[in-house]
């Protein structure tokens, strides 16, 4: 039985050594997420100052709280992110409040994507996504150093080839 | 297990071998390109033609007076000329499109070329064939034509559609393609060669019309229809406002549409088994004959709707990689409605071996039972999860055998999902904050895109971890012994007769 407090539980299978993702992902995620909150907050604050409508300040306060929550939760999310390569499958674990773990056998892999957007490139990270024949397989590892992403891609591809099965 | 990776077994006719007879000869690429039936544009375009005729008729009716004026003047020439130009244009474009559509078949693949301005060449490997359908819309049936649809697992719109062919030609081609996909070698076929004899098939189950109608009557949608039909006029009389009647057709239209679709598709449903796969025939206006080769079904779901409980009727759906979800209920129904025995027969077609000693007792526990029922081996929700799913917590559960994962849920309308272990793609565990408070988690098996998404909520977290681990390990073992993609090549290698009755249906057994 797992303790609700959380330590081992189903998201920590025995004998699995988790690889963390790069902490540069924190910066990348903050840079992507914060403007979406801060820009409306600043605009609303200006509007509130100009119009003198007090109701708007509550919205600004709510956005400020949201900002603080984002700043608090993103580092935790990134630290909770992890993957592990076992002999026959890849494990990916993530989430703080909503936790998930996915086990993808190498032989089920159809193709691998490596992606890096402008913010990712600025932070020097890349994301690897494993695709199986199921669209529900959410095997996505964000925040890998480009060299590690390339290594993982090649490794996954070669392991997938060695264990290839049909559908 | 790597045997299937090798090249296609030799002995197949070389792709480049030209046919001595017949008018289409081998092109520079060594393929024999054939055209679809010349009536195709008419069958495809009859709707456009009908719409045009209707518009013209309406215009003519509206402007009869002015039309008469025009006839007197020189306008009639312009009118007729315009009409002629449109007809010529449409005919010309259809002819061009027909002329540009060509297909060819070699030992490894089906090739299709089409498109006038945007040319498309599509090639589908036969060993990746997921299903073959013969579709006959009503107009095509009048002309004795059929569309041959080859499904490969390439996401939406990945099918190769050969439309339209002569019915006999479509049947022959289907048999030939399936034989080739199965690894049974056939010689290159000339156009005048006789159509290959259809492999022997055994009828398994059919749906009588009365039961189909009964099953549709006993659906919640039908209840909505009936209630609306009673409530709206009643409300109208009480309120004394006849205006509400205009709402009735609008509200009922969509519901009736759904019910009609179900009737239309389930009409004359027949399931049979042949060495080249499961055959399904059904459809009232659009007749459809589907063949799903063994081992191509990724998951099976048995579902008993709320009102079917007393009749003990079940519907059987499947996930097949090529069909996807968009086409919805049309193609992924293995049995629209059947008794429990028939539903289990349909299940047996897909999963002949469940990996349990007493299959019937196990299945009864899956279909009827609740609680963990130690004999059946279902892992069900812990008592604490009754707060999260108060009705179904006793029912929700998972059982693992060496061959399949069986997921059971639904207190009143029961759903039982079977996933052959060698077909699971990946396994997921998830847990939200509330579930964590209760020490429960969700287990998900990822199957290919389709109606079935095997998932069980609110299992004890420790059980979920254990189950996920077991699914991963047993799937690996099951894959190692799974049948090859060319499902009959193994049978041939073992020196067994290929056209045996049902023997080949097992796939992985």
DSSP B329: G
Phi, psi of B386 (to 5 degrees): -65, -20
Query: Which of B154, B156, B387, B446 is the best residue to mutate to test the A interface, defined by the most A CB atoms within 10 Å of its own CB?
Result: B446
Provide the CATH number for the domain around residue B301: 2.30.29.30
Q: B116 and B93 in one domain?
A: no
Fold assignment, A82-164: PH-domain like (2.30.29)
Q: B323 and B182 in one domain?
A: no
Confidence category of residue B492, pLDDT binned at 50, 70, 90: very low
Domain assignment present for residue B479? The answer is yes
Domain assignment present for residue B170? The answer is yes
B432·A166 Cβ contact <8 A: no
Query: Which of B296, B425, B469, B471 is the best residue to mutate to test the A interface, defined by the most A CB atoms within 10 Å of its own CB?
Result: B425
| Chain B residue with Cα closest to A102 | B428
Indicate if the pLDDT at residue B432 is higher than 80. yes
Q: What is the pLDDT of residues B472-490, one digit of tens each?
A: 999 988 888 776 666 655 4
Q: B453 and B345 in one domain?
A: yes
Task: Give which of B447, B159, B327 is closest to A133, Cα–Cα.
Answer: B447
| Chain A residue with Cα closest to B484 | A166
Q: B143 and B105 in one domain?
A: yes
Q: B430 and B364 in one domain?
A: yes
Q: B45 and B29 in one domain?
A: no
Task: Give which of A121, A83, A123 is closest to A104, Cα–Cα.
Answer: A83
Q: What is the pLDDT of residues B276-315, one digit of tens each?
A: 889 999 999 889 999 998 788 999 999 999 899 989 999 9
pLDDT of residue B68: 62
Q: B455 and B307 in one domain?
A: yes
User: Rounded mean pLDDT of B115-143?
Assistant: 88
Q: Which domain holds residue B78?
A: 41-98
CA dist B113 and B104 (Å) reads 9
DSSP result, B132-174: EEEEE-HHHHHHTEEEEEEEESSSTT--EEEEEEEHHHHHHHH
Q: What is the pLDDT of residues B264-276, one digit of tens each?
A: 989 999 999 888 8
CA dist A102 and A136 (Å) reads 10
pLDDT of residue B24: 54
Q: At which of B51, B73, B98 does a domain end? A: B98
Phi, psi of A15 (to 5 degrees): 70, 15
Domain assignment present for residue B159? The answer is yes
Choose among A3, A102, A167: nearest Cβ to B321. A167
pLDDT of residue B62: 66
Domain assignment present for residue B16? The answer is no
Confidence category of residue B50, pLDDT binned at 50, 70, 90: confident
B433·A135 Cβ contact <8 A: no
Q: At which of B58, B78, B98 does a domain end? A: B98
Provide the CATH number for the domain around residue B133: 2.30.29
| Chain A residue with Cα closest to B420 | A167
Q: B427 and B321 in one domain?
A: yes
Residue ranges, chain A, pLDDT below 70: 1-8, 164-167
Q: Where are the domains of chain A?
A: 24-77, 82-164
Contacts B436 to A, Cβ<8 Å: 4, 6, 99
Chain B CB within 8 Å of residue A138 CB: yes
Indicate if the pLDDT at residue B374 is higher than 80. no
Indicate if the pLDDT at residue B466 is higher than 60. yes
b/e sequence B394-423, b meaning 16+ C-beta within 10 Å: bbbbbbbbebbbbbbbbeeebbbbbbbbbb
CA dist B105 and B176 (Å) reads 10
Confidence category of residue B199, pLDDT binned at 50, 70, 90: confident
Q: Tokens for B126, please give them.
A: 């036969």
Burial class (CB in 10 A: 0-12, 13-18, 19+), B372: middle
Q: B476 and B385 in one domain?
A: yes
B4·A11 Cβ contact <8 A: no
Domain assignment present for residue B203? The answer is no
Q: At which of B79, B98, B117 does a domain end? A: B98
Q: B492 and B423 in one domain?
A: yes
Confidence category of residue B368, pLDDT binned at 50, 70, 90: confident
What's the whole-number average pLDDT of chain B?
Answer: 80
Q: Count CB pairs under 8 A between chains A and B.
A: 111
Contacts B469 to A, Cβ<8 Å: 13
Task: Report yes or no: B183 and B486 within 8 Å, Cβ to Cβ.
Answer: yes
B321·A105 Cβ contact <8 A: no
| Chain B residue with Cα closest to A92 | B428
CA dist B302 and B347 (Å) reads 8
Q: B463 and B383 in one domain?
A: yes
pLDDT of residue A166: 65
Choose among A4, A134, A139: nearest Cβ to B437. A4
Domain assignment present for residue B20? The answer is no
Instruction: Provide the shortest C-alpha distance from residue A59 to chain B (in Å).
Output: 27
Total-model pTM: 0.82
Q: B236 and B162 in one domain?
A: no
Confidence category of residue B244, pLDDT binned at 50, 70, 90: low
Contacts A104 to B, Cβ<8 Å: 425-426
Domain assignment present for residue B5? The answer is no
Long-range contacts of B373-377 (CB under 8 A, 24+ apart): B377/B401
Domain assignment present for residue B188? The answer is yes
Task: Report yes or no: A63 and A37 within 8 Å, Cβ to Cβ.
Answer: yes
Provide the domain count of chain B.
4
Choose among A6, A105, A107: nearest Cβ to B436. A6
């Amino acid at each position: 039985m797992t303790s609700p407090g959380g330590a081992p539980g189903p998201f920590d299978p025995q004998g699995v050594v988790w690889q963390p993702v790069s902490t540069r992902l924190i910066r990348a995620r903050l840079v992507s997420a914060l403007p979406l909150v801060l820009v409306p907050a600043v605009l609303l604050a200006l509007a509130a100052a100009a119009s003198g409508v007090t109701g708007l300040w509550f919205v600004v306060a709510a956005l400020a709280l949201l900002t603080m929550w984002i700043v608090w939760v993103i580092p935790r999310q990134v630290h909770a992110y992890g993957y592990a390569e076992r002999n026959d499958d890849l494990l990916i674990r993530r989430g703080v409040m909503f936790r998930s773990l996915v086990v993808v056998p190498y032989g089920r892999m159809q193709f691998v994507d490596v992606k890096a957007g402008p913010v990712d490139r600025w932070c020097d990270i890349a994301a690897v996504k494993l695709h199986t024949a199921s669209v529900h397989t959410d095997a996505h590892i964000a925040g890998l150093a480009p060299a590690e992403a390339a290594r993982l891609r090649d490794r996954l591809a070669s392991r997938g080839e060695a264990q290839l099965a049909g559908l | 297990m790597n045997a299937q990776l090798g090249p296609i077994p030799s002995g197949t006719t070389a792709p480049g071998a030209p046919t001595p007879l017949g008018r289409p000869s081998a092109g520079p690429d060594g393929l024999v390109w054939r055209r679809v039936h010349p009536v195709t544009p008419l069958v495809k375009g009859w709707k456009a033609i009908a719409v045009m005729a209707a518009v013209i008729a309406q215009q003519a009716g509206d402007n009869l007076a002015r039309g008469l004026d025009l006839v007197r003047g020189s306008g009639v020439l312009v009118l007729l000329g315009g009409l002629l130009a449109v007809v010529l244009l449409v005919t010309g474009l259809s002819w061009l499109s027909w002329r540009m559509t060509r297909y060819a078949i070699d030992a490894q693949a089906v090739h299709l070329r089409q498109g006038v301005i945007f040319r498309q060449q599509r090639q589908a490997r036969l060993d990746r064939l997921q299903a073959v359908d013969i579709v006959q819309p009503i107009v095509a049936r009048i002309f004795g034509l059929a569309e041959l649809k080859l499904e490969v697992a390439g996401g939406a719109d990945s099918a190769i559609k050969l439309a339209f062919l002569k019915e006999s030609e479509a049947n022959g081609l289907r048999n030939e393609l399936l034989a080739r996909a199965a690894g049974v070698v056939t010689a290159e076929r000339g156009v005048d060669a006789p159509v290959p004899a259809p492999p022997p098939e055994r009828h398994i189950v059919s749906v009588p019309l009365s039961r189909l109608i009964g099953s549709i009557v006993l659906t919640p949608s039908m209840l909505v229809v009936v209630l609306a039909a009673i409530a709206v006029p009643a409300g109208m009389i009480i309120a004394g406002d006849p205006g509400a009647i205009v709402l009735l057709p609008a509200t009922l239209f969509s519901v009736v549409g759904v019910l009609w679709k179900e009737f239309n598709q389930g009409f004359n449903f027949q399931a049979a088994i042949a060495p080249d796969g499961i055959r399904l025939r059904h459809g009232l206006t659009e007749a459809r004959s589907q063949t799903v080769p063994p081992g191509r079904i990724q998951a099976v779901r048995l579902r008993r709707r709320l009102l079917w409980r007393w009749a003990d009727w079940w519907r059987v759906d499947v996930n097949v990689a090529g069909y996807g979800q968009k086409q919805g209920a049309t193609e992924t129904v293995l049995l629209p409605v059947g008794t429990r025995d028939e539903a289990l027969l349909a299940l047996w077609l897909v999963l002949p071996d469940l990996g349990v000693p007493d299959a019937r007792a196990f299945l009864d526990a899956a279909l009827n039972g609740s609680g963990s029922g130690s004999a059946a081996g279902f892992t069900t929700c812990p008592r604490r999860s009754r707060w999260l799913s108060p009705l179904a917590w006793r029912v929700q559960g998972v059982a693992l055998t060496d061959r399949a994962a069986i997921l059971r849920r639904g207190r009143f309308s029961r759903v039982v999902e079977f996933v052959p272990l060698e077909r699971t793609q990946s396994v997921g565990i998830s847990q939200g904050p509330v579930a964590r408070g209760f020490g429960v988690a969700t287990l998900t098996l990822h199957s290919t895109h389709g109606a079935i998404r095997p998932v069980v909520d609110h299992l004890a977290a420790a059980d979920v971890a254990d189950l996920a681990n077991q699914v991963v390990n047993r799937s690996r073992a099951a894959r190692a012994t799974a049948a090859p993609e060319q499902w009959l090549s193994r049978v041939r290698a073992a020196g067994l007769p290929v056209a045996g009755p049902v023997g080949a249906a097992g796939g992985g057994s």
